[in-house]
Structures are given as C-alpha cells and as structure tokens.
C-alpha cells in the first residue's frame, strides 16, 4: 500500500500548508511508535520471564528442574522442582484431546469445505465460532458438574476429576480451532484440483481424501498445531477438573497437574523473591517457548501451503 508510483509522485509534491505536512509526519511517528510498542511487548514478556526465571537456578540445579520427576516445592523435607510430572500432565491431556479432536475436526472441516454451501455453511461456521468464544470457566464448570459424575459412574472409578476429564474438555476447546483453520486450508486448494479429479471419474469421497486433503496437508498440520497450542495453554478448565495432583499418571483415571494450572495454583502462595516464586517463572518460560514454537511452526506451514499453489 505504500510504494505505488502515484505515492512516489505525491510524496515529491509538497502539500501547501506546513501544518498539514507536520501532521503527516506526526502521524507516522505515532503509528510507528505504537507498532514498535506492540512488538516490544513480546520481547518484554520474554525478558521478564527470563529475568525472574533464571533466578530459580541459583538454588535449584537446572538439570534437576528439567529432568526431575517430583514437583513438590512445599515438601515436608527437601523441596523438589522437577518439571516432568507437569510436562507429562500437559502433554498427555493435550494428546488425548488431539486424538479425539483431529479425526472429528478434520472430518467436519472436509464436510464443511467440500459439501456445504450458502447459508448452511455460514450458519455452521458461525456456530462453531460462537462455541470457540465460550469462556473456559464455563466449560470447566460443565466438566465439573456433568462430566465428572458421568465419568465416575460410567467407568466405575471413584472420582471423575482426572486426566480423561481434562482431555475431553481440551478436545472440546481445540475442536473449533482445528475445524476453522482446516476449513481455511481446504478452501485454499484451487478448484482445478477437484475439477480434474471429477473429470477423471473420481467420487467426492475419493476426491476429498486423495486429492484435496493431501494438497492441503500443510495447512491441516498447521490447524493441528494451533489446536495443540490452544490445549497446552488452557488454564481454568483444566484446573477445575484435572484433580491437580502433581504425579506421573499411570492410567486415564489418575489425577494430573498441568504446567498452566501449577502456575495458577502456586503463584499466590509463593513468597515474592523465593525460589518457589522464581520457579513458576521458569515454568512460564517453558510454556512460552512451547506456545511460541507451535505458533511459528503453524505459521510457516500455512505460508508453505499457500505458496505451493502459486506457481
């Protein structure tokens, strides 16, 4: 928008009043400063996390943090700051969520993109987007009052506050993301692909699964990554239904603790300036890096998909 030939000509002809020119310069300065501020925020967050997080390692050996299998900062004896149970809690619940959400989500996206048209498509997409906007506390509340007793009764386990419940809720929360990003990815595939397949006598099913889906695979992968990021970063819903025991789970019905809920649960009680306080920032660094990583990969994948069709 800023480098058309006409713009160059306009730039070279000074406007008549100096105040207008000044206003123009001021505008650039203000807008440029705003966007710099926005970018600096990201840097600021990382900086603060690092600043506080690394102070953990004055007292806690970094290997112990990264590979320790017990997280117990308020232990009766020596405090333990092992990341593994929390990392496993986050990853396992996200894994369960994705195992459910990927097939359901991609299948739905294929239907929405390849078959539904007009107002039906718009309505369904709107419904999905509306659901994406449900506050996570509401979903956590639902998991607490409906899913937990259901799981307890159906599987004959003592409590419904466990890994399975968390996984189910996270599946619900990442489904809308997976559906809408997958739909976008499928829509980007040029129609000529489909037309060629139909011309050769392929059925809609075959076209979708053998032609369109593989063509959109980078975008679908991006959808999965974004769904993963959403699930890993979820705090409130998980805190209400996961049972919150920081141990390594041995079954779907064991309680778990995720990185996010650990930060939320322990931030208030840790004394400012203690190793416990700083260790929560260290957890924040881990979370930040995971989220950043998945987002960057997803972006690259989307770009790659778009590029693969423009030749």
Partner 1 sequence: MTTSPPPARKLHRTRFASSYRFWLLGIPLALFIAFIVYMFAYLFRNGLGVISWRFLTEPPLKGMTEGGIWPCIVGTILVTFVSLIFSVPVGVCSAIYLSEYAPANFLTRVIRSSIRSLAGVPSIVYGLFGVALFVSAMKLGLSILASGLTLGLMNLPWIIATAEEAINAIPGSFREGALALGTTKWEAIRHNVLPYAFPGILTGILLAVARTMGETAPILFTGVTYYTKQLPSSLSSKFMALPYHLFTLSTQHDQMMKVRPLAFGTAIVLLVFVLAFDGVAFAFRLRTSSSNKWQV
Partner 2 sequence: MKKLLTIAALAAAVTTLVAGEVLVKGSDTMLNLVQNLAEAFSTANPDATVSVTGGGSGVGISAIISNETDIADASRSIKSKEISTARANGVNPVEYVVAIDGVCVIVNASNPIEKLTIEQLGQLYQGKTANWSALGGPNKKVSLYGRQPSSGTFVYFRDEAVKAEYAASMRQMNGNAQIVEGVRGDEGAIGYVGVGYAREQGVKVVKLSKDGSDYYSPLDKAAVDAGDYPLARPLFQYTNGKAKGDAKAFIEFELSPAGQKIVEEQGFYPLTQGYQDKNNANLQ
- Chain residues that interact with partner 2, rule: CB under 8 A: 70, 72-77, 149, 152, 158-159, 161, 239-240, 243-247, 254-255, 257, 265-266, 268-272, 274
Q: Which does 98 bind (CB under 5 to 8 A by kind): partner 1, partner 2, none?
A: none
Q: For partner 2, which is the closer residue by CB, 168 or 241?
A: 241
Q: Which does 247 bind (CB under 5 to 8 A by kind): partner 2, partner 1, none?
A: partner 2
Cβ of residue 257: shortest distance to partner 2, in angstroms?
A: 8
Q: Which does 69 bind (CB under 5 to 8 A by kind): partner 1, partner 2, none?
A: none
Q: For partner 1, which is the closer residue by CB, 69 or 296?
A: 296
Q: Which does 118 bind (CB under 5 to 8 A by kind): partner 2, partner 1, none?
A: none
Q: For partner 2, which is the closer residue by CB, 145 or 289?
A: 145
Cβ of residue 296: shortest distance to partner 1, in angstroms?
A: 7
Q: Which does 292 bind (CB under 5 to 8 A by kind): partner 1, partner 2, none?
A: partner 1
Q: For partner 1, which is the closer residue by CB, 53 or 82?
A: 53
Cβ of residue 258: shortest distance to partner 1, in angstroms?
A: 10
Cβ of residue 163: shortest distance to partner 1, in angstroms?
A: 19
Q: Which does 48 bind (CB under 5 to 8 A by kind): partner 2, partner 1, none?
A: partner 1
Cβ of residue 49: shortest distance to partner 2, in angstroms?
A: 20
* Beta pairing partners, 71: 81
State the virtual CA torsion across 131, 134, 140, 142 in degrees, nearest 10. Answer: -60
Q: For partner 1, which is the closer residue by CB, 6 or 63?
A: 6
Rg of the chain over Cα atoms, rounded to whole angstroms, equals 25
Q: For partner 1, which is the closer residue by CB, 11 or 77?
A: 11
Cβ of residue 277: shortest distance to partner 2, in angstroms?
A: 8
Q: Residue 222 and residue 303: Cα distance in Å, rounded? A: 10
Question: Where are the alpha helices (H) located in the chain, listed in sequence order?
Answer: 5-12, 18-53, 62-67, 84-114, 118-132, 136-142, 148-155, 163-188, 191-199, 204-206, 213-215, 217-232, 236-241, 259-266, 275-308
Q: Which does 265 bind (CB under 5 to 8 A by kind): partner 2, partner 1, none?
A: partner 2
How many angstroms from the chain centroid is the CA of residue 101? 13
129-to-111, 176, 185 alpha-carbon distances in Å? 16, 7, 16
Q: For partner 2, which is the closer residue by CB, 247 or 291?
A: 247
Cβ of residue 78: shortest distance to partner 1, in angstroms?
A: 25
3-state secondary structure of 139: helix
Task: Please name the residues in contact with 253: beta carbons below 8 A apart, sequence gap of 6 or more.
Answer: 151, 155, 157, 159, 162, 163, 164
43-to-50, 51, 284 alpha-carbon distances in Å? 10, 12, 14
Instruction: Answer yes or no: are the C-beta atoms of 86 and 257 closer than 8 Å.
Output: yes
Q: Residue 57 and residue 81: Cα distance in Å, rounded? A: 10
Q: Residue 72 and residue 203: Cα distance in Å, rounded? A: 57
Instruction: Answer yes or no: are the C-beta atoms of 176 and 78 closer than 8 Å.
Output: no
């Amino acid at each position: 928008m800023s480098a058309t030939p006409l713009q160059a000509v306009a730039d070279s002809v000074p406007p008549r009043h100096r105040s207008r020119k000044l206003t123009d310069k001021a505008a650039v300065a203000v807008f440029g400063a705003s966007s710099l501020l926005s970018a600096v925020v990201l840097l600021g967050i990382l900086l603060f996390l690092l600043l506080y997080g690394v102070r953990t390692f004055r007292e806690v050996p970094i290997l112990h943090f990264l590979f320790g299998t017990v997280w117990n900062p308020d232990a009766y004896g020596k405090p333990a700051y092992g990341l593994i149970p929390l990392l496993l809690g986050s990853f396992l619940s996200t894994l369960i969520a994705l195992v459910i959400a990927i097939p359901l989500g991609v299948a739905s996206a294929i239907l929405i993109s390849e078959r539904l048209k007009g107002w039906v498509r718009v309505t369904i997409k709107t419904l999905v987007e509306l659901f994406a906007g449900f506050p996570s506390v509401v979903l956590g509340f639902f998991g607490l009052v409906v899913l937990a007793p259901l799981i307890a009764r159906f599987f004959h386990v003592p409590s419904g506050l466990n890994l399975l419940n968390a996984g189910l809720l996270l599946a619900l929360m990442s489904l809308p993301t997976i559906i809408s990003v997958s739909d976008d990815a499928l829509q980007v595939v040029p129609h000529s692909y489909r037309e060629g397949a139909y011309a050769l006598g392929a059925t809609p099913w075959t076209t979708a699964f053998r032609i369109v889906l593989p063509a959109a695979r980078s975008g679908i992968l991006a959808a999965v990554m974004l769904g993963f990021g959403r699930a890993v970063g979820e705090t409130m819903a998980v805190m209400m239904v996961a049972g919150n025991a920081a141990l390594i789970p041995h079954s779907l019905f064991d309680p778990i603790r995720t990185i996010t809920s650990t930060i939320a649960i322990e931030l208030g009680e840790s004394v400012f300036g203690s190793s416990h306080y700083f260790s929560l920032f260290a957890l924040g660094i881990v979370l930040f890096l995971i989220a950043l990583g998945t987002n960057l990969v997803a972006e690259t994948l989307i770009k790659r998909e778009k590029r693969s069709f423009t030749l």
